[in-house]
Amino acid sequence: MSGRTKMAHRGGGLAAIGRGGAVAVTAAVTITMAAAACSAPGAAQPRSSASAKIADAASGCGKAPVTLNAYIETGFQVPNSLMAEFTRQYPNVKWNIREDQFAVITQNAPRVLANDPPDLMRLPSISDLVKDGLLKNLDPYAKAFGWDKWPSSELVQLRLGPGGRPRGEGSLYAMGLNYSMTGVFYNKKLAARIGMTAAPTTLAQLDQDLAKAKQAGITPIVQFNGGATGGFAFPLQDLMASYGPPGPINDWIFNKPGATIDTPPNLRAAQHLVQWIKAGYFESDANAMDYYTMMSRFTHGSGLFMFDGDWESGNLDKLMAGQAGFFLMPPSQAGGPYAAMSAPLTYGIAAGAKHPDCAAFFLNWVATNPTARQIDVQVGGSHPLGAADADMPAVKPGTVTAATLAAGSVVSRDNGSMDFIANATGAIYASAWTPELQKLFAGKQTAAGLLSTVQADYQQELAG
Amino acid sequence: MKLHRTRRARWTGWLFAAPALGMYGVFVLRPLALTVQYSFYNWDGIGPSTWAGLGNFRMVFSDPALLNIIGNAFRLIVFFSVIPVLLGLASAAVIRRIAASRLAAVARTALFLPQVIPLVAAGIAWSWLLSQTGVVNQFLSAIGLSGVTRAWLGNFATALPAVGLIGAWVLLGLCTLLLLAGMTRIDPALFEAARIDGAGFWREFRSITLPGLRQEIAVCVTVTVIAALASFDIIYIATQGGPGDATMVPGLEIYELAFSHRQVGLASALAVVLIVLVLACVLPIQWLARRDAR
């Protein structure tokens, strides 16, 4: 017996480690499993959304040195220019800026807001963030600064009911640096070649221009629809606005009970888009084209129209000076009301932010300070927020920026502003609109099938 | 006394292994265990979670979209495994025949080069080559095939084969090199004997090279099958899973579900299923290789 024991011990460390190793690994797995399994993941209950409590809104950032943490979208100059100007006017405020692409911000948003809460952050769709109590309720600031006296349509998309639903009513959870609007950009040189002297005022006229361009061998529409973002959502929603009122579309985006995207006017819009596809108005590689390829092709003059937003106005004025124009999607009936996708460039304050008062003061300054408003227009090409009678910065006539700003007032006159259909739920763009629009372009989906599939996905997401 | 010393030696061994084991526990075992745990919950990654039981797994096996995504991974095996291993065998055999010439060294380097290039860079370069105006279409037009040119990565029918081609290009070099190394291990006397017996290239290949390479082929198949089933980077760069869901694979879908859709439970369930699928494919290969070796 003793001999055998000795043998085993002397016999080899390897065997011993083999056995002992197996035991140790099993133990490690068991321990980690047990440690992991003893509680459900996540917070025990939703955080209560911290309501801002401010003593005196006017005190703003005070006089002592303060450094604001900002998490912003890379590639857009507006926030950087605004922050630099703010520091020039309030030298005690410094910025600690982190930049990422929007897709990265979208994925990081909940974790960054929870673990490393910034004072100011570019935000994706905010419903889920409010549900998790990650954003500061801005109602007290709105009252103190008078944001609630601005035209209600400016901030309606940033209001949410308790728990994040429905959108479009309730407390204010984010602000905009400005608000952007979408429509149709066109190449003036190519327009002259097909004899297009004025922007179309009905959908039928737009159809004629498209047909003329096709006949003249000009690509009628440069539109991206590749990768993870289906850009055909732009023309589709514009066509929806052309065929029907924006109200039901907004209800759907705001998750009002019983709302549906699968309506007769929307079906006619989707069918119209299919006609455009079948007529060959888009480039054959649209499903492989990303946003930047589209921009590069349009600015190099390879197509007549492009459905996009006024965040590119400043850019186009620079790259295609005098050569680019803009018009709102025309209504289907002459003299009908205009509508457009319009959304604030959304920025919010984390519930756990260290300097919320100063961040709110900055947001108010962006909308009210004359220099800030000028930066918004000149650098961003977009409409500043603020009171209806606030001074509008002067812009050079004949520029794209002038055209988009003028279009903005048409949309507010007709009360035609809509949020983007891709923002109805957090995942609907990636999981429904993009793949279905890519199938639509490839002829693998019908207009009716597109809307019913998206609606089914929408209901599933709201239920889950 | 003796007993005491051996025991101490054993503890010293564990002490040396401890840092590695600690890392392994924290960065491999713990995430693995957490993934299994998360798969039983509905959770958005931040807020409170609710117990889901097997609901997420039922979803993985019943949702046609998710099943199609798993199917895509298996379709990729053709491009990531079958083609590189077969072509690898052929090119290794040819390179070995011309081993002495300078051409062999050039061929070896050219084939292995894709392994050195970061996958992201390879993905970007290939998405340019395969674009509507890319070199592939320019070449096709030049030889009078302008009728078949298309945006290869944006077309429902060709997107999956196109990303498969990128994978095959990357993995061919690895397989060739492994197989070539295996061939040099085979006793040259065997080849000599075969030649004296009058065996031709084919006979030599089938009777000596192939049986001698069993282990290497098993390694190639294992590595490439895992690369196919767990593919992520090439597809993320080249197509993002599009158009539609034509090139969506489990690896990318797990990432999308967890970080974009914030369905951490469903993402974890799909990850667990993926682990099981990989094991189910790889273990039989290993077992076969080992049995044959005996």
A19 in B contact zone (CB under 8 Å): no
B218 domain-assigned: yes
Q: What's the CATH code, domain A181-343+416-463?
A: 3.40.190.10
Q: In Å, what is the CA distance from A328 to each residue of A235, A269, A380, A400?
A: 11, 16, 18, 12
What pLDDT sits at residue A194? 94
Compute the nearest-CA separation of B239 from chain A (Å): 5
* Owner of token pair 């692409």: A101
Give the Cα separation of A430 and A436 in Å (integer): 10
Do the chains contact at B29 and A29, CB–CB below 8 Å? yes
Q: In chain B, which residues have their Cβ closer than 8 Å to the Cβ of A17?
A: 10, 13
A8 in B contact zone (CB under 8 Å): no
Do the chains contact at B261 and A40, CB–CB below 8 Å? no
The reply to whether omega before A331 is within 30° of 0 (cis) is no
B3 domain-assigned: no
Do the chains contact at A20 and B14, CB–CB below 8 Å? yes
What pLDDT sits at residue A1? 33
Q: In chain B, which residues have their Cβ closer than 8 Å to the Cβ of A114?
A: 46
Domain that holds residue B110: 63-293
In chain B, the number of structural domains is 1
A161 in B contact zone (CB under 8 Å): no
What pLDDT sits at residue B100? 75
| Chain A from 192 to 251: CB within 8 A of any B CB | 226-228
Compute the nearest-CA separation of A54 from chain B (Å): 27
Is residue A185 within 8 Å of A306, Cβ to Cβ?
yes
The tokens for B113 are 């080069």
Per-domain residue ranges for chain A? 57-179+344-395, 181-343+416-463
Same fold, A57-179+344-395 and A181-343+416-463: yes
B10 domain-assigned: no
Residues of chain B with pLDDT below 50 are: 1
- Cβ burial, residue A14 (10 Å; 0-12/13-18/19+): exposed
Residue A327 forms beta bridges with which residues? A184
Residue A186 forms beta bridges with which residues? A305, A325
What pLDDT sits at residue B10? 79
Q: What is the CA radius of gyration of chain A?
A: 27
Domain CATH for B191: 1.10.3720.10
**Closest residue to B153, CB basis, from A106, A288, A444:** A288
Residue of B7, B36, B46 best to disrupt the A interface, most CBs of A under 10 A: B46
Residue of A297, A431, A441 best to disrupt the B interface, most CBs of B under 10 A: A431
Compute the nearest-CA separation of B81 from chain A (Å): 26
Is 0.85 exceeded by the ipTM? Answer: no
Residue A417 forms beta bridges with which residues? A340
Do the chains contact at B49 and A9, CB–CB below 8 Å? no
**Closest residue to B132, CB basis, from A132, A134, A284:** A284
Compute the nearest-CA separation of B244 from chain A (Å): 4
Q: In one letter, which amino acid is B70?
A: I
Name the CATH architecture for the domain at A57-179+344-395.
3-Layer(aba) Sandwich (3.40)
B69 domain-assigned: yes
B260 Ramachandran zone, left/alpha/beta (phi>0; psi -120 to 50): alpha
B129 Ramachandran zone, left/alpha/beta (phi>0; psi -120 to 50): alpha
List, for residues A97-121, the tens digit of each pLDDT value.
Answer: 999 988 788 888 999 999 999 999 9
B159 domain-assigned: yes
Residues of chain A with pLDDT below 70 are: 1-38, 43-59, 464
Is residue A167 within 8 Å of A253, Cβ to Cβ?
yes
Compute the nearest-CA separation of B268 from chain A (Å): 12
